[in-house]
Each structure stands twice: as structure tokens, then as C-alpha cells.
Structure 1
Amino acid sequence: MNYRHIYHAGNFADVWKHAVLVALFDALKQKAKPFCYLDTHAGIGRYDLQAEEARKTAEADKGIASLWQATDLPELLQQYRQLIADDNVGDSLRYYPGSPWLANLLRREDDSLICNELHPVDVETLRDLFHRQRKVSIRNEDAYQSLTACLPPKEKRGLVLIDPPFEKVDEFRQLLDGLKNAYQRWPTGIYTLWYPIKSRVEVQQFYRRLELSGIRRILRAELNMKRPTDGEFTGSGLVMINPPWQIEQRIQPAGDWLARHLGGAEANCTIDWLVPE
């Protein structure tokens, strides 16, 4: 309950995660039928980068702010930056849309959002943000309980983002258990799981458990800022279950650009199939 994303909003991990989210929404919108987006760890939805908490860490300076004036962005990052620019005033960068608000900017009129947040203060901020938005449900419960309560959605198609704060020592285990339970309820959904790369051993154990889970079509997308060092946050990982066709071709140029411009000499973006068909 101590984690507050305002300290980290707009950092390199957010940029990677949210650029991929844009690509996933674009793929879902290729079909006319409405879809549902479930965000299990929604936070407050939208962040003031000039707030005291955000300026205390200034992580956005090496994240979204580094893209703001860039002239050589690949197409996906251009689209992502434009969404954020449209949510601000003039040429300034003050507000950063978290995944729930970014999803709201991306969705069509008939697409629905389910945003879950456990923190008692943050969920009220989230409700205030969405109070005039239609086809939005705000929930206040454990993230993994929301997977059971909300799946499968009535639309029968859509995307789930599971984005834990990783404060608990067993978060990788909970993440995998939650995924397996959700997958049993809705095996045709698209699932995206975010995780920090701090301990390469721990991440490799997570991959091995995914490989043994029986779930197929698992795409891995890692953005590493430098060579992993145990205990230090050096990379941002995503695994996607049932990803849209050719999504890797869409997101690879964005990941390569971020590695070159935000990372060190050893930075890289690796996208591959952890578990194929």
C-alpha cells in the first residue's frame, strides 16, 4: 500500500510500456467489434510531472522528456508522443497519462474500460478523473481478485494489463498465479504483464515458470538500459500472451530508439518468442 507511481511517472519503463500499449490498441481497433481493456493496477490515471513527488526523483527527465523535442522518432513513438502532447497545453510537458488515461485517449466510443486500484486514496482520484467518461468501471479491490471478477468480459475480446508495483517479495509468483487463473477463465484474451529487471536470476526463474505453465504464444519484449546488476533497476520487461499478429515488427523500432537514446553503451531491446504457438 506504500507504492505511489507519481514518483516514477514518465520514466523509461513507462515510455516502453505505454508505447507498446499504443501498438496493442491500434491492433485491436483493426476490427469493428468493441473490446474491453482491464487495468489491474491503475494508479491515479494521470500524473502532474511538476508535483513535488515527481520532481523529487525527476525520473521523467530521462524518460518522456527525452522524447519531447526529438526529431528522429520512429512512427510508434511519434504517435505515442502526440497522444501525450494532446493531453497537455501548448508545447509544454506537464501532465503524463498513466495506462488508464492513455487507454481512454486511445479507445473508441463503444470500447469499455475497467480500472482497478487498491489504494484507498488513489482510487478516489481515479474516480474523479473518469467521472464524466462513459463505459468506464472503477473498482477498488485486490488486483488479482479483479481478474477473477471481471473475466471474461462481455465483449469477448480485449486486453488485460497486469502492472504490479513489485513491493512484495513473492510478486513474480503472484503475477504468474494470477495470469494462470485469468487464462483459464479467458484463454483468448490478450494479456500484457510488466515486470522490472533488477535480478536476472529472478527474471529467468519467472521465464522458466512461464514456459512450464502450459500457456502458448508468449512474446517477450525487454528494454535494458545497461547490463543487468542484481538489485539495480536496469530494465523494463513485458510479456504478451496472444499478442496481435506482427506486433513485434511494430514495436521493435521503438525499443531500438529508446535503447540508443535513453540507455548506455550496453543498452538493448530484445523481442522474441518465449513460448511459440
Structure 2
Amino acid sequence: MLSYRHGFHAGNYADVLKHAILLQVIDLMQKKDKPFVYVDTHSGAGGYSLMDEFAQKTGEYRDGIARLWDKTDLPASLKHYVEAVRHFNEGNENTSEDLSWYPGSPAFVDMHLRQNDRMVLHELHGTDFELLNEYFEDARQVQVSKWDGLSGLLASVPPLERRGVVLVDPSFEIKTDYEAVADAIIKAHRKFATGVYMLWYPVVNRAQTEAMLSKLKDSGIRRQLRIEQGIKPDSDEFGMTAAGLWVINPPWQLDTIATEMLDYLHPVLNVDGGYVKVEWEVGE
């Protein structure tokens, strides 16, 4: 359960979609002056070296962020994302021209956190928790907990701010994760119905993924948006063929922004026979 290390996959095509959309959600939330809390159930480390053994072993970032790095025709949403990665590289004694580091989800949010916003981060893996805790040791607005993220989510809502963004991004290493994640989001929504919930999901076994999403879809919760990118057709063979974000209560215009983003990403990141999808699975 605790063997997963995101360093192997940092900056891959799934991270591109997840973090580009996350930044858009944060920006849209900040159109209002009122503060909000960002809750991350599976935070990982603060950032990842793309030069270390984990990233170099798989090289997944080369088919993700690296394909966007030198593009000059990016839509505004993806330009914002790439600029954030460049800023993170500069902060690691690098130059903005070198792609050597990749920020974790909390680092992306931290780069855009306002004075009155805050973060609640959960990480159960011992090594990644220590790295995350060290990364944010001087950040007064950030709480880092070595705790099961789904339990932590239920303890974190409703927030005092009454506004919040929740990212649920587990490894899905074991089959029971799928059901546990859906159950936790439904329970959290009962306590905090106005929060923005972002569930990242992989497509390795399509039936397994759809069973989880169907549970959310049939829960009675309104306003559920699917944002998904496949780089090749579904397959029974080992490996992730697609990934997506299931967003409950997406901020206004996120569907339009996501459509523009995926229209650009599809020809850039597609391997063979892939697709993109932005669909309202449950409306108002």
C-alpha cells in the first residue's frame, strides 16, 4: 500500500492534465476575494527531480511536460501551467530554460496561494511525508499531516472558510481504493456540499474505474464534470491508457477552459488511437 512513489511518474501526461486543470480551478476560485482552503488527500513530496533515478528509470516526463516545454503556441491555460513549472525550476537553483524539476500538487497551489488562503496536506508514506514536511516547515498557512488522506478529508470539512478545493489523488494500488475513494467523497459532500472536489483517476481497468465513477454519478450529487484524456485505446494489457479528473461543483467556465486545453493536448500527447472527453455526467 505504501510502496508507491510518484517520482517515477512525475511530469507525465496525466500530471500535465491534472496540474493544468488544478491551476485553473485555483485561479477561478480566486476571482472572489473570500479565502478558501485547499485540501490534498495524497500530497506526495514537495517536488521531484527529473534527473534522479526514479524519473530517469521511466522517462515518463519526456512524453508529458517535456513535450510542452518549448512550445510557443500554448493556449493561456497551458501557458500558465508551463510558467509555473519554469518558476519551480528557478526556485531550485536552476534556470527557467532547464527542465530538471517538477512540482507536486501542493507546490503548484503554494505558488498561487494568497495571504488568507491555506492548505491542509496529508501524506502517509514516511519518506514523502518527511520531504513534504521539510518543504513547508516555515509556511504558516500550511498544515502537513502524516495521516490517511481519506480520513483526513472527512476531518477537514466543513472548513471555517466555507470555501474549499479538495484534490483526491490516490495511487489506486489496491482494488479497494476505488470504492473507498467514492465513499469518502460522498461522505465529505454531505458535510460540505459547496466544496469543489477534484478526483484524479487512472484508466488501467476500464470497468473498475467506471464502477467508481458510477457510484459518484448515482449518488444524487449534482454538477459532476468528467475531463479525460486517453493516449491510446483501452486495453487489458498492463499499463495506464488514460487518466482524468472527475470534478464536483466545478467553477464556472472550467468546462470551456478544459475543452480548449484538451483540444491542444490531444495531438501533442496522443500515442495512437487516443481521445479527449469533457462531459457533464450530472447536471444542475
TM range (shorter): over 0.9
Match of residue 4 from structure 1: 5
CA distance in 1, matches of 2:272, 2:183: 36
**Superposition deviation, residue 97 in structure 1:** 0.6
Same amino acid, percent of matched pairs: 40
Question: Contact (CA 8 Å) 1:160, 1:191: kept in 2 or not?
Answer: yes
**Superposition deviation, residue 130 in structure 1:** 0.7
Q: Secondary structure at the match of 1:87?
A: helix
**Among 226, 251, 259, the residue aligned to 1:252:** 259
Match of residue 109 from structure 2: 103
Match of residue 49 from structure 2: 48
**Among 146, 153, 157, the residue aligned to 2:163:** 157
Q: Secondary structure at the match of 1:144?
A: helix
Residue 276 in structure 1 maps to residue 277 in structure 2: no
Question: Contact (CA 8 Å) 2:186, 2:216: kept in 1 or not?
Answer: no
Residue 182 in structure 1 maps to residue 182 in structure 2: no
The residue type paired with residue 258 of structure 1 is L
Match of residue 264 from structure 1: 271
User: How many residues get paired?
Assistant: 277
For residues 189-225 of structure 1, give each alpha carbon's deviation from its aligned partner in whole angstroms, at most 9, with x where no partner exists: 0000011011222222223222221111100111110
TM-score (norm 2): 0.95
The residue type paired with residue 129 of structure 1 is Y
CA distance in 2, matches of 1:233, 1:92: 28
Match of residue 237 from structure 1: 244
For residues 203-259 of structure 1, give each alpha carbon's deviation from its aligned partner in whole angstroms, at most 9, with x where no partner exists: 222232222211111001111101111243110111000111121111211112211
For residues 120-179 of structure 1, give each alpha carbon's deviation from its aligned partner in whole angstroms, at most 9, with x where no partner exists: 221111011011222100011111110121111111101000000010112110110110
Match of residue 22 from structure 2: 21
Question: Contact (CA 8 Å) 2:36, 2:161: kept in 1 or not?
Answer: yes
TM-score (norm 1): 0.97
**Among 129, 133, 138, the residue aligned to 2:139:** 133
CA distance in 1, matches of 2:250, 2:203: 21
RMSD of aligned alpha carbons = 1.1
CA distance in 2, matches of 1:125, 1:135: 17
Question: Contact (CA 8 Å) 1:116, 1:139: kept in 2 or not?
Answer: yes
**Superposition deviation, residue 265 in structure 1:** 4.1
CA distance in 2, matches of 1:122, 1:212: 35
Q: Which runs of 5+ in 1 are unaligned?
A: none
4+ residue runs of structure 1 moved beyond 3 angstroms? none
Residue 148 in structure 1 maps to residue 154 in structure 2: yes
Q: Secondary structure at the match of 1:184?
A: helix
Match of residue 224 from structure 1: 230
CA distance in 2, matches of 1:141, 1:41: 9
Q: Which runs of 5+ in 2 are unaligned?
A: none
The residue type paired with residue 45 of structure 2 is I
Question: Contact (CA 8 Å) 1:40, 1:146: kept in 2 or not?
Answer: yes
**Among 113, 130, 133, the residue aligned to 2:119:** 113
CA distance in 2, matches of 1:43, 1:33: 28
Question: Contact (CA 8 Å) 1:223, 1:268: kept in 2 or not?
Answer: yes
Question: Contact (CA 8 Å) 1:260, 1:268: kept in 2 or not?
Answer: no
For residues 39-64 of structure 1, give each alpha carbon's deviation from its aligned partner in whole angstroms, at most 9, with x where no partner exists: 00000121111111110111101111
Question: Contact (CA 8 Å) 1:260, 1:267: kept in 2 or not?
Answer: no
Question: Contact (CA 8 Å) 1:12, 1:63: kept in 2 or not?
Answer: yes
The residue type paired with residue 194 of structure 1 is W
Match of residue 39 from structure 1: 40
Question: Contact (CA 8 Å) 2:166, 2:196: kept in 1 or not?
Answer: yes
Match of residue 61 from structure 1: 62
